Amino acid sequence: MKELQGSLSILKNVNILAYLMKGVAFTLIISAVAVIIGILFGYILAIVRNYCTHGKYAILGKLAAIYIEVFRNTPLLLWIFICLVFVSTPKIFQIPMLGLSSVETGLLFKGIVALTFFESSNIAEIVRGGLNAIPKGQFEAAYSQGFSAPSVMIHIILPQVYHKIVPTLLGQVITTIKDSSYIANIAVIELMARTRQVLSGAWQYNGLNQVNVSDVFVLFGFAFLVYFVIDFALSMAVRRTQKKIA
Partner 1 sequence: MGGLFSAYAWSKVWDFRMGFLTGLGNTLLTALLGIVLAMALGLIFGLMETGRIKALVAVARVYIEFIQNTPILLQMCFIYYALAFSGNSIGIVPTGIIALGIYHGAYMAEVFHAGIGSIPKGQFEAAQSQGFTYMESMRFIILPQTIKIILPPMVNQIVNLFKNTSCLYIVGGMDLISVTYSFVTGEKTGGAYSPAYLLCGILFFLMCYPLSKMATSWEMRLKRKEMAAVRAAGRR
- Binder of partner 1 out of 18, 25, 36, 70 (CB under 8 A): 70
Q: 3-class SS at 208?
A: coil
As measured in angstroms, the least distance from the Cβ of 215 to partner 1 is: 7
> At closest approach, how far in Å is the CB of 227 from partner 1?
5
Is the separation of the CB atoms in 190 and 30 below 8 Å?
yes
* Segment interacting with partner 1 (CB under 8 A) among 33-41, 68-76, 145-153, 160-168: 68-76
Q: Residue 156 or residue 238: which is nearer to partner 1 going by CB? A: 238
* Per-residue binder mask for partner 1 (CB under 8 A), 197-236, x = binder: --x-----------xxx-xxx--x--xx--xx--xx--x-
Instruction: Indicate the DSSP class of residue 7.
Output: H
CB distance 20 to 198 below 8 Å: yes
Burial of 235 (0-12, 13-18, 19+ CB in 10 A): middle
3-state secondary structure at position 147: coil
State the Cα–Cα distance between residues 165 and 123, nearest whole angstrom.
Answer: 10
- The correct pick among 73, 144, 145, 209 for binding partner 1 (CB under 8 A) is 73
Nearer to partner 1, 21 or 78 (CB): 78
Binding to partner 1 by CB under 8 A, coded x per residue (else -) over 83-122, reads --xx------------------------------------
Cα–Cα distance for residue pair 228/123, rounded to 1 Å: 22
Residue 147 or residue 178: which is nearer to partner 1 going by CB? 178
Report helix, strand or coil for 55. Answer: helix
Pairwise CA distance, residues 96 & 106, whole Å:
9
Cα three-residue angle 66-70-118, rounded to 5 degrees: 115
- Should residue 185 be labelled a site residue for partner 1 when binding is judged by CB under 8 A? yes
- Using CB under 8 A, list all residues that contact partner 1: 69-70, 72-78, 81-82, 85-86, 174, 177-179, 181-182, 184-185, 192, 195-196, 199, 211-213, 215-217, 220, 223-224, 227-228, 231-232, 235
